[in-house]
C-alpha cells in the first residue's frame, strides 16, 4: 500500500514527465492486494485500468509498471504501445493476463471466454489444462469498475457464466463514480443487486477499503470457486482518492465535501491503525513507509532515463506468422465427386474437429437440433458431442469476444454469426479486443479464431438478411477476411483459416451455398483431399483472355470475388477470348502483385462487387490499381457495385434491380473495350 501511494504521489509531482494519460489505484489498494495475494500461476486475471495495486500484489515491480506509464521501449507488457495499467502477461511465475482494451466492461466477455475454455479443457481432461502445484484448479478473475456493469456486454458475460457454470469471479470495485457521473445519476442498482437477477451467480458485498475483510472474503471466494467451479460476484465498496485519470482531474467535478468523505476510508491509514492495534512497532511501519518511498523514487528516475521505442518496430506484431504459406494437397483428387459449397464448409470443419480435439464450434442454432439455419453444421454435434458443438443465446458480442479467452487457454474456436447483417452487435469485441490483441501484446496473445458469416443477397432475403459487410470489416486492422466463391476454395481456405494463429472472418455467400442461383453451377467442384490447404492472400484466374487479344489491345481484366465471379463469367460469354477474371478469394491479405501484373497486361480494368458502390472496398481497390498501374492504363479503372440504397429490398424484382448482373457488367466491358 505504501508503494502504491508513493507511486501516485510521484506521478502527481512529476506531471511533465508523466505526460501520457493514466489512472492510479488510490483508494482501491486493499481489495486489489487482497485479490492478488490469493492467486497462483495457473490462474488468470484481467485487471482494469485502475488496478496497479493488483499488479504490485502479483509481483510486478514499480519500475516495470513505470516503463508502461512512460511508454518506454522495455515496457514488458506492450513495448510502449499501451496505456498505464494495461498489462498482458504469459509466464510460469504469475497468473496469465490477456490483453484487454480501455473500453469499460468489454473485458467481461473475453475473460469469461477464458473460463469457458478452462471448463472445456476440464471436461475433456486435456493436458493443456494447467493446475496449481498441489493440483489446484485454476480460477479466473475479471476486475470491473461498478459503472461498467451497466454495459450490455457485461450482461451477456453474466448470462453465459451462469448458464454454463463457469469458474469465474467478477470483482466489482465500486467507488461511486463513473468519470463525472455519480452512481445515483446513472444507475438504479449497484452490481450486487444487479447480480441478484442472475440465479446461480453467488454474490457478496464487502468493504473493499478494509484489508482484513477483503483478504478473508477473497480467500474464501477463490477457494470456493476452485472447488465448486461456479461463478461468483464480489462487490467491494471503495473510496476514489485519486483523479479519474491524469487528464480528468478530481477537482473538475467533485466537491470538497465529497473528497473529504472518501478520504475517511483511505485503506492505508486504516490498515496502519489495525497493525498498531495488533502490536506492530510504529518504527517498523515508519521504516516501511520510508523504504517504499525511496524505492519508488529510485525506480522512477530509472524509468525516466530508460530508452524510447525504436520507430522501426512500429509495424511488428500486427499478425502472428501463419504456418500455411503455400497450396498443398490435391485440389481435384481422382475419384472424388463434386460437392456444393455448404458441404465443403461442413466437411472441412468435420475433418478439422477429427484432427484437432481443441477445436470447438458454437453460435446461434448450430447445435444438435438444427445444425445451422443453412444446415452448414448438420451432424457435427451428433458426431462430436454437445461439449464441442453447441448453441449459444442471441449474443453476437459474446460469440465473437469469447474467442479471445478461448484462444488464450489453447482452445481453437470456430464460431458463427447467423447473418452478416447481425455482426454489428459483435463489433465492439472484434474491434477493441480481437483485432488489437496481437499488436498490443507484442505477439503474446494473437487470437486464433475463425468467425463464419453467411453473407449476400438472393431470393428475396430482405433488408436484414442480405447485406454485404466487407468494407466495414476491411476498415479494421488486425483481422483477415476471406471470401471463397466455390467449394474447393471454401474447403482449402477454411483449413488455412483454422491453422492461422490470427482472427479470420470467413464470408460465405449463401446464394452460392447450393448453386441454386442460375449461372452458379461452377461453384460446385470436386471435393479436395483431406490435406488440401489454400493459403490466404492468393488470388487466381478463373478465366484467362487469349494472348492475341491481349496483344492487340482487345482485352479487359475483371477483378472480383464471391457472386461477382459468376456475374463476370456471364458477361464474358459476350466477349469470347477477351476477358481475364481474377477471383480475389481473400480480401485481406490482398494479392496486389497478382492484380497489378494482370491489369498491366490489359490496360483496362473493372472492379466488380456486390456491395453498394460508393465508398466501398471496390472503389478503394480501384484507386490503388490506378496508382500502381497508371502508365499502363488505356482507360480509367471502372467500378460496378450495387445501387447506393440503404438496404436490399425484399421484393425480388427490386432486389435484382439493386444488384449487378451479367448485363450490367457487359455494358461496362463494352465501354472499356471501345475506349
Edge-to-edge strand ranges of the sheet holding 359-363: 389-391, 359-363, 412-416, 449-455, 503-509, 480-482, 586-588
Measured distance CA(337)–CA(340) in Å, rounded: 10
Note the pLDDT of residue 376.
74
In the structure, what pLDDT confidence band is assigned to residue 397 with cuts at 50, 70 and 90? very high
pLDDT average, residue stretch 13-20: 95
Question: What was the pLDDT predicted at 372?
Answer: 75
Report, as an integer, the average pLDDT of 71-79: 97
Q: Of 360-369, 401-410, 541-550, 568-577, which gets the smallest average pLDDT?
A: 360-369
Name the H helices within 165-308. Answer: 183-186, 191-195, 211-228, 256-263, 267-277, 282-305
Structure confidence at residue 375 as a pLDDT band (50, 70, 90): confident
CA gap 434, 400 in Å, rounded: 8
Average pLDDT over residues 73-94: 97
| Tens-place pLDDT, residues 237-268 | 999 999 999 989 998 999 999 999 999 999 99
Cis peptide bond N-terminal to 589, omega within 30: yes
Determine contact, residues 340/369, Cβ cutoff 8 Å. no
- Supply the pLDDT for residue 177: 87
Residue 264 to residue 286: CA distance in whole angstroms: 21
Q: Supply the DSSP string of 299-331, one letter for each residue.
A: HHHHHHHSPPPPGGGTTTTSSPPPS--S-BS-S
Give 455-480 pLDDT, tens digit per residue: 999 999 999 999 999 999 999 999 99
Alpha-carbon torsion (308, 314, 320, 322), positive or negative = negative
Q: What is the pTM of this model?
A: 0.96
What confidence tier does 482 reach under pLDDT thresholds 50, 70, 90? very high
In this prediction, residue 511 carries a pLDDT of: 95
Which pLDDT band holds residue 13 (cuts at 50, 70, 90)? very high
Q: In the predicted model, is pLDDT for residue 341 greater than 80? A: yes
CA distance 233 to 231: 7
Using alpha carbons, list the distances in angstroms from residue 57 to 95, 168, 451.
11, 20, 37
Contact 210, 238 (CB under 8 A): no
**Model confidence at 486: pLDDT above 90:** yes
For residue 309, the Cα-to-chain-centroid distance in whole angstroms is 25
Residue 161 sits at φ, ψ, to 5 deg, of: -60, -40
SS (H, E, C) 465-485: CCCCCHHHHHCCCCCEEECCC
Can you read off the three cell numbers belonging to residue 177?
A: 463514480
Helix (H/G/I), strand (E/B), else coil: 572: helix
Neighbours of 215 (CB within 10 A): 17
Residue 389 has a pLDDT of: 93
Angle, alpha carbons 32-176-397 (nearest 5°): 75
The CB-based long-range contact list for 661-664 (8 Å cut-off, 24+ gap) reads: 661/567, 661/570, 662/519, 662/567, 662/568, 662/569, 662/570, 662/571, 662/573, 663/571, 664/567, 664/640
Cβ atoms 67, 22 nearer than 8 A: no
CA–CA dist 641, 486 (Å, integer):
21
Average pLDDT over residues 118-131: 95
Cβ contacts of residue 270 below 8 Å, gap of 6+? Answer: 30, 209, 210, 211
- Residue 374 Rama label (left phi>0; alpha psi -120 to 50; beta): alpha
**% helix / strand / coil in the chain, to the nearest 5?**
40, 15, 45
- The pairing of strands 540-543 and 579-583 is antiparallel
**What is the pLDDT, as a whole number, of residue 381?**
85
Q: Coil, helix or strand for 414?
A: strand
Q: What kind and span of H or E run contains 490?
A: helix 487-499
User: Would you call 451 helix, strand, or coil by DSSP?
Assistant: strand
Cell representation of residue 300: 522512477
Mean pLDDT of 510-526: 95
193-207 per-residue burial string, b: 16 or more CB within 10 A, e: under 16:
ebbeebeebbbebbb
Neighbours of 129 (CB within 10 A): 19
Length of the chain equals 675
Q: Which of 28, 262, 317, 465 is catalytic?
A: 465
* CA 239 to chain CA centroid, nearest Å: 33
Task: Using DSSP, state whether 192 is helix, strand or coil.
Answer: helix
Rg of the chain over Cα atoms, rounded to whole angstroms, equals 28
The dihedral built from the CA positions of residue 470, 378, 383 and 113, taken in this order, carries a sign that is positive
Alpha helix stretches (DSSP H) within 322-395: 341-355, 380-384
With a CB cutoff of 8 Å and minimum separation 6, the contacts of 320 are 438, 443, 446, 501, 502
465 part of the active site: yes
pLDDT tens for residues 574-624?
Answer: 999 999 999 999 999 999 999 999 999 999 999 999 999 999 999 999 999
Instruction: Write down the mean pLDDT value for the chain.
Output: 96
CA 566 to chain centre: 33
Confidence of residue 365 (pLDDT cuts 50, 70, 90): confident
pLDDT confidence of 367, banded at 50, 70, 90? confident
Alpha helix (H) residue ranges in 142-209: 152-164, 183-186, 191-195
List, for residues 162-194, the tens digit of each pLDDT value. Answer: 999 999 999 999 999 888 888 989 999 999 999
Average pLDDT over residues 536-546: 98
Amino acid at each position: 500500500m505504501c508503494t502504491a501511494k508513493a507511486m501516485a504521489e510521484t506521478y502527481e509531482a512529476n506531471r511533465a514527465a508523466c505526460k501520457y494519460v493514466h489512472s492510479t489505484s488510490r483508494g482501491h489498494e486493499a481489495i486489489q492486494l487482497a485479490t492478488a495475494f490469493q492467486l497462483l500461476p495457473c490462474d488468470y486475471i484481467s485487471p482494469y485500468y485502475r488496478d496497479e495495486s493488483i499488479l504490485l500484489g502479483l509481483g510486478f515491480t514499480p519500475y516495470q509498471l513505470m516503463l508502461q506509464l512512460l511508454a518506454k521501449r522495455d515496457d514488458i507488457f506492450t513495448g510502449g504501445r499501451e496505456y498505464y495499467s494495461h498489462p498482458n502477461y504469459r509466464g510460469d511465475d504469475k497468473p496469465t493476463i490477456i490483453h484487454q482494451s480501455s473500453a469499460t466492461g468489454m473485458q467481461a466477455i473475453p475473460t469469461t471466454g477464458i473460463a469457458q475454455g478452462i471448463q472445456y479443457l476440464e471436461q475433456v481432461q486435456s493436458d493443456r489444462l494447467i493446475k496449481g502445484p498441489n493440483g489446484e484448479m485454476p480460477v479466473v478473475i475479471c476486475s470491473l469498475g461498478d459503472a461498467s456493469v451497466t454495459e450490455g456486454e457485461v450482461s451477456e458475460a453474466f448470462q453465459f457464466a451462469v448458464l454454463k457454470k463457469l469458474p469465474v469471479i467478477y470483482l466489482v470495485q465500486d467507488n461511486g463514480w463513473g468519470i463525472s457521473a455519480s452512481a445515483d445519476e446513472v444507475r438504479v442498482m449497484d452490481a450486487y443487486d444487479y447480480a441478484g437477477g442472475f440465479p446461480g451467480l453467488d454474490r457478496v458485498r464487502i468493504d473493499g477499503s478494509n484489508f482484513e475483510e477483503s483478504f478473508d472474503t477473497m480467500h474464501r471466494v477463490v477457494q470456493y470457486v476452485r472447488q465448486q467451479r461456479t461463478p461468483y460476484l464480489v462487490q467491494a465498496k471503495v473510496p476514489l482518492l485519486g483523479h479519474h485519470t491524469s487528464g480528468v482531474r478530481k477537482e473538475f467535478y467533485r466537491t470538497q465535501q465529497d473528497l473529504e468523505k472518501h478520504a475517511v476510508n483511505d485503506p492505508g491509514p486504516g490498515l496502519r491503525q489495525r497493525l498498531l492495534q495488533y502490536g506492530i512497532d510504529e518504527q517498523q511501519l515508519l521504516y516501511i513507509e520510508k523504504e517504499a518511498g525511496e524505492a519508488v523514487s529510485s525506480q522512477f528516475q530509472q524509468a525516466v532515463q530508460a530508452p524510447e521505442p525504436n520507430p522501426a518496430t512500429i509495424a511488428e506484431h500486427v499478425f502472428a506468422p501463419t504456418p500455411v504459406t503455400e497450396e498443398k494437397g490435391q485440389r481435384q483428387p481422382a475419384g472424388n465427386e463434386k460437392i456444393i459449397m455448404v458441404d465443403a464448409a461442413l466437411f472441412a470443419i468435420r475433418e478439422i474437429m477429427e484432427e484437432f480435439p481443441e477445436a470447438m464450434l458454437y453460435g446461434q442454432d448450430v447445435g444438435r437440433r438444427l445444425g445451422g439455419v443453412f444446415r452448414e453444421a448438420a451432424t457435427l454435434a451428433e458426431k462430436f458431442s454437445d461439449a464441442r458443438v453447441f448453441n449459444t443465446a442471441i449474443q453476437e458480442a459474446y460469440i465473437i469476444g469469447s474467442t479471445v479467452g478461448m484462444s488464450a487457454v489453447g482452445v481453437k474456436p470456430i464460431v458463427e454469426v447467423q447473418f452478416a447483417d447481425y455482426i454489428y452487435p459483435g463489433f465492439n469485441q472484434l474491434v477493441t479486443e480481437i483485432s488489437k490483441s496481437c499488436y498490443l501484446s507484442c505477439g503474446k496473445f494473437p487470437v486464433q479464431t475463425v468467425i463464419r458469416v453467411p453473407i449476400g443477397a438472393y431470393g428475396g432475403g430482405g433488408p436484414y438478411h442480405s447485406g454485404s459487410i466487407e468494407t466495414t470489416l476491411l476498415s479494421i486492422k488486425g483481422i483477415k477476411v476471406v471470401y471463397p466463391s466455390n467449394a474447393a476454395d471454401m474447403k482449402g481456405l477454411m483449413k488455412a483459416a483454422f491453422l492461422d494463429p490470427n482472427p479470420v472472418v470467413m464470408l460465405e455467400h449463401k446464394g452460392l451455398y447450393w448453386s441454386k442461383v442460375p449461372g452458379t453451377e461452377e461453384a460446385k467442384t470436386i471435393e479436395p483431399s483431406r490435406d488440401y490447404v489454400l493459403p490466404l492472400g492468393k488470388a487466381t484466374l478463373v478465366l484467362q483472355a487469349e494472348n492475341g487479344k491481349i496483344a492487340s489491345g482487345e482485352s479487359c481484366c475483371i477483378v472480383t470475388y464471391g457472386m461477382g465471379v459468376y456475374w463476370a463469367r456471364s458477361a464474358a460469354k459476350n466477349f469470347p477470348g477477351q476477358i481475364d477474371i481474377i477471383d480475389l478469394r481473400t480480401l485481406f491479405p490482398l494479392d496486389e502483385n497478382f492484380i497489378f501484373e494482370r491489369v498491366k497486361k490489359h490496360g483496362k480494368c473493372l472492379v466488380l462487387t456486390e456491395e453498394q458502390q460508393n465508398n466501398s472496398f471496390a472503389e478503394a481497390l480501384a484507386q490503388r490499381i490506378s496508382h500502381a498501374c497508371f502508365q499502363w492504363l488505356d482507360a480509367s479503372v471502372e467500378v460496378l457495385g450495387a445501387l447506393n440504397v440503404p438496404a436490399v429490398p425484399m421484393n425480388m424484382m427490386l432486389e435484382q434491380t439493386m444488384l449487378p448482373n451479367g448485363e450490367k457488367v457487359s455494358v461496362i466491358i463494352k465501354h472499356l473495350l471501345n475506349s
